[in-house]
Structures are given as C-alpha cells and as structure tokens.
Amino acid sequence: MEQISTIVAIATPPGAGGIGIVRLSGPDSPAIAKSLSGKRFTPRHAHFISIHDNESRIIDQGIGLYFKAPHSFTGEDVVEIQGHGSPVALQMIVDRCLELGAQLARPGEFSERAFLNDKLDLSQAEAIADLIESSTESAARAAIRSLTGEFSQKVQVLIDKLIALRVFVEASIDFPEEEIDFLAENDVAGRTRKVLEEFLQMKKLVRRGTLLRDATRIVLVGPPNAGKSSLLNALCRENRAIVSDIPGTTRDTLEHPIQINGYPVVLTDTAGLRENADIIEREGIKRARLALAAADLALVCIDDAASDEAQINQIIADEVPDGLGYCVVLNKADLAGKKVSRDGNRVSISAKSGEGVDLLCAWISDIVGYSGHGQGQILARQRHLDALKRAESHLQRGYDGFMDTGAGELLAEDLHLAAQALGEISGKMSADDLLGEIFGSFCIGK
Ligand SMILES: Nc1nc2c(ncn2[C@@H]2O[C@H](COP(=O)(O)OP(=O)(O)OP(=O)(O)O)[C@@H](O)[C@H]2O)c(=O)[nH]1
Ligand SMILES: [Mg+2]
C-alpha cells in the first residue's frame, strides 16, 4: 500500500498580516507539531507554543491546534500553527516542517484529500474555491449553498430518478408478458419525458449558476459622440470614463466591473467607430472590434437625435458579429424629444441624466437570465453544465430510439450513460485526470 505523506503549506494569503497560518495534514502531523513546539497536542485544544528551528532558536510564538482524524477538514490528522503573519517567519515554519519530513502541498491538495476521504464531493470542493474567489454577495451566497451540498443533492435526486427509470425499463425487458399493464410502453415513454423536463429545469438553474461565477462581458459600441462613455459612467454610477463633445474622445478600451441584480458584469467602453480616423483612433477602433469579438453581449449606442433608421441598421450589419446578442441603446432621448422606454431590444434612454438606465439594466437581466430572485440559486461551473448537457443528450437519444423502435435495451444503456455523466458533477464517477485538472486550479494551502 502506498504510504500517505504529510503535507504542509501556508494557508493564509501571501503578504504580511496579523495572523498567519501554517497547515499540516497527514499521519506525521502530530509528531511534527511536537518537534516544532516541544509539546504534545491534545485534539481540539488551543496550545500556546513557541516554535523552534533545528538549533532550538525560537522562530515565532503562536497557537497550535490539532484536529485528530477523521474529524478534520481533510479527514486526516491536521495541525494548524497560527503564528504572527510575517511571511518570513511563516516560511521558516514551513521549512522546518519540511526538514521534519513533511512535503510541500500541491495547489488544492488539502481539498483533494478532503474529497478522497469523502469529506466533500467534487462540486462542494469546487464551491470552496468559488466562495474564496466570489466577487459579489450573490455569488458568495450561492457558493455557500453549493458548499453545503444543496447542488449535490439536486444532482443526486436526478441520478436516482435515472436509476429508478432504468430499473423500470429493464424490468419491462425481462418480463414483457407478465405484467403488461404495469409495464406498458407508454409508461416508460411518459416517465422518460418527465425526467427530460426535469433536466430542463436543472439546466436553467446551472446556467444561471455559471453566470454568477463568470462575469458577463458587455461591450459598448457605436459612432463617436453617441454617448458610450456617458453610458458607461451611468451604469457604474461613477465618473470613470472621459466624456466630451469632441468626437473621438475615447481611444483605448476601458473596462469596469459592475453588478446587475447581484450578477457580475464587466463593461467595456470603446472608441467610436468611424471612417477617416487618425492613426491612434484607428488603433482604438481595431481594439473596439476585438473587444466585440470576445463579448457576450453588445450595447449599440446611438445618438437618437442625430441618426436615422438606415444608419442604425447599417452599424448593426457592419459591426455586430453574427449570433451576438445586442441591444440598441437610443441615447440622448432628451435631445430627441422622446420619453425613455423599452421596446424589444431597443431601449431609449438619456445617459447624461441617467434616465432610463434602469430599463436598460432590466433588459440585460432578462436577456442574460439574471432576473428572478436568487433564492435557491447555486453556484456552478461550465464543467457542470457540460456534464448535464451530455447526460441530457444520452437521455434524449435513448428516448428517441425507444419511440422509434420500442426497444428498451438501448434506452436502458443510455440511462446508464446519462447517470454516469451526472455522476461526474459530484465526482463519484470521475476519471483521475479530471480530478487532477480540477484540484490543480486551486491555490496552495487550500
Ligand atoms: N443631451 C444629452 N447629451 C448627452 C447624453 N449622453 C451623452 N451626451 C453628451 O454627448 C457628448 C459625447 O458623449 P460621450 O459619452 O463622450 O460619447 P462617446 O460615445 O463616448 O464618444 P467617443 O468617445 O468620442 O466615441 C458629451 O458632450 C455628452 O455630455 C444624453 O443623454 N443627453
Ligand atoms: Mg467615449
């Protein structure tokens, strides 16, 4: 059997702080703690300790804690040394632990061990990383829900339904004559359809969950002087970009993160698009188009007092990449003598006064799927959505085949594959390389 190593890392963020924590996990943790401090740690007791180097000189003083296996984060013997938050002293403690036989932890190795010891499933481990990195309150709340297992439970319910359906389908293959009523074909089809509907709901939830994690990139484009920079300022509620009545004011692209309904968004202001620009502006326009190519959504900003329908259509045809969602922001409603309003993907506003900006935010929320209350919202990753989609396509294929041929065998196999794909979310059926990929993206000490 492979010997389990004892790992060590600084668990607190880099830099100086009031307290810094060195974390050890593995069978040698208590012995290393004893060598460091000269004390034998009692589980779940706070010990005041002096930490010594190999020549018995004091490196630091602090608190030592011992969490005996399996009652620890990783499920192994864990020791935490809370020293003063001096990066140098913390590194000396780590070095001393290495001398005493510990190994430096890889990024995410503590969480990986927690997963391998069944302390967390995969989506919970990911939720820890997401909680630490969350940029909005909604994301943090959703991460906590995923962390406490709400997401895993929902996935498990679906897996259980797939398994129950498979048992039912296989029974109908094995006993086609005996219980013909109970195992009527319609029943199999009806039940499969029901599960497919539940996949739809789950997909919505998970898609919203991925949006919470990854900011939506919204790019503001349009002719010079249309009011793009004014709109950026209105959306961020601060004077971020230079505004002037000279066309061609903005050259560089300018990014600013904001929240809409608690969801993270990154806005990008760009140079006004026009022919006959000077060399610097041309570079700006090139950058605007690059930003647009990487955007999730475009706000096409138009001066409503100075443009006609043909010009609006022209700029959309010329500049908005195929398939990219966009909103025509008819700006300067005050000058055009119009009321602020929202009609389809056209929103009439006045960026200068801020009137109508709420209508635009509502449009963005609706399009991107931010609307609806955050209750029950979980945090999810693209990986989860991919697994869900794969599971759904197995189920759909099985259903279509069953409707065509009435053959339960293929449906049963597809149900099995669907459950397996879903199992990747919690990691109960994941390949090793997938695990390495996921935990490798964590930071050290986690
Ligand atoms: N009356 C009125 N003026 C506006 C409105 N929005 C912007 N402006 C004015 O229009 C002018 C251009 O605004 P900017 O925000 O700099 O326009 P821009 O699209 O960023 O321009 P470039 O950076 O040159 O491409 C400024 O004088 C703004 O004060 C509005 O809603 N109403
Ligand atoms: Mg500008």
User: What is the model's pLDDT at position 136?
Assistant: 81
Q: How many domains in the chain?
A: 3
Average pLDDT, the chain: 89
Q: Is residue 262 part of a domain?
A: yes
Ligand 1: residues with CB < 6 A are 224-230, 243-245, 247-250, 271-272, 331-332, 334-335, 350-352
CATH number for the domain harbouring residue 184: 1.20.120.430
Do 205 and 244 share a domain, yes or no? no
The band of 433, judged by pLDDT with boundaries at 50, 70 and 90, is: low
The amino acid at 398:
G
Question: Does residue 183 carry a pLDDT above 70?
Answer: no
Q: Are residues 252 and 389 in the same domain?
A: no
Q: Whose CA is nearest to atom 17 of ligand 1?
A: 227
* Ligand 1 atom with minimal separation from the 223 CA: 25
Pick from 230, 238, 252, 330 the residue to mutate for probing ligand 1's pocket: most ligand atoms within 8 Å of its CB.
Answer: 230
Residue 110 is assigned to a structural domain of this protein: no
Tell whether 55 is covered by a domain: yes
What's the 303 CA to ligand 1 centre distance in angstroms? 8
Q: Which whole number is the average pLDDT over 70-84?
A: 96
Q: What is the pLDDT of residue 371?
A: 66
pLDDT band at 224 (very low <50, low <70, confident <90, very high): very high
Measured from the Cα of 333, ligand 1's closest atom is 31
pLDDT at 43 over 60: yes
For 56-66, the pLDDT digits (tens) are 999 999 999 99
pLDDT band at 430 (very low <50, low <70, confident <90, very high): low
Residues 202 and 231 reside in one and the same domain: no
How confident is residue 177, by pLDDT bands cut at 50, 70 and 90?
A: low
pLDDT band at 181 (very low <50, low <70, confident <90, very high): very low
Residues 100 and 27 in one domain: yes
Residues 186 and 271 in one domain: no
The answer to whether residue 113 is domain-embedded is no
| Residues 347, 416 within the same domain | no
Residue-wise pLDDT tens digits, 122-174: 889 889 888 888 878 888 888 888 888 889 999 999 999 998 888 888 877 76
Do 85 and 153 lie in one domain? The reply is: no
Strand partners, 299: 220, 327
Note whether residue 2 is domain-resident: no
Q: Are residues 221 and 204 in the same domain?
A: no
Query: Where residue 263 falls among pLDDT bands split at 50, 70, 90?
Result: confident
- In terms of pLDDT, which residue wins out, 205 or 224? 224
What's the rounded mean pLDDT across residues 310-330? Answer: 95
Residue 337 lies in a domain: yes
The three-class DSSP label of residue 79 is strand
- The CATH number assigned to the domain holding 94 equals 3.30.1360.120
- Which of the listed residues 342, 368, 394 is the one where a domain comes to its end? 368
From the list 110, 57, 107, 52, the residue with the least C-alpha distance to 79 is 110
Residue 432 has pLDDT above 70, yes or no: no
How remote is the CA of residue 214 from the centroid of ligand 2, in Å? 26
Q: Going by CA atoms, what residue is nearest to atom 7 of ligand 1?
A: 227
CATH code for the domain in which residue 323 is found: 3.40.50.300
What confidence tier does 176 reach under pLDDT thresholds 50, 70, 90?
A: low
pLDDT at residue 182, rounded to an integer: 45
Range of the domain at 88: 7-105
Are 197 and 281 contained in the same domain? no
Residue owning tokens 């913390």: 90
In a domain, 164, yes or no: yes
Least confident of 20-24, 201-205, 336-340, 431-435: 431-435
Q: Among 221, 229, 285, which is best to mutate for testing ligand 1, by the most ligand atoms less than 8 A from CB?
A: 229
Closest among 149, 70, 160 to 415, alpha carbons compared: 160
Same domain, 347 and 233: yes
Q: Are residues 131 and 248 in the same domain?
A: no
Q: Which of 368, 395, 421 is the last residue of a domain?
A: 368
Boundary of a domain, candidates 322, 340, 368 = 368
Same domain, 271 and 315: yes
Instruction: List the shell of residues around ion ligand 2, using CB closer than 5 Å.
Output: 228-229, 249-250
**CB burial readout 54-93, b (16+ within 10 A) else e:** eeeeebbebebbbbbbeebbbbbbbbbbbbebeeebbebb
Q: Tell me the ligand closest to 221's alpha carbon.
A: 1
Assigned domain for 1 exists: no
Residue 162's alpha-carbon distances to 25, 105, 171, 174, 194, in angstroms, are 38, 39, 14, 18, 11
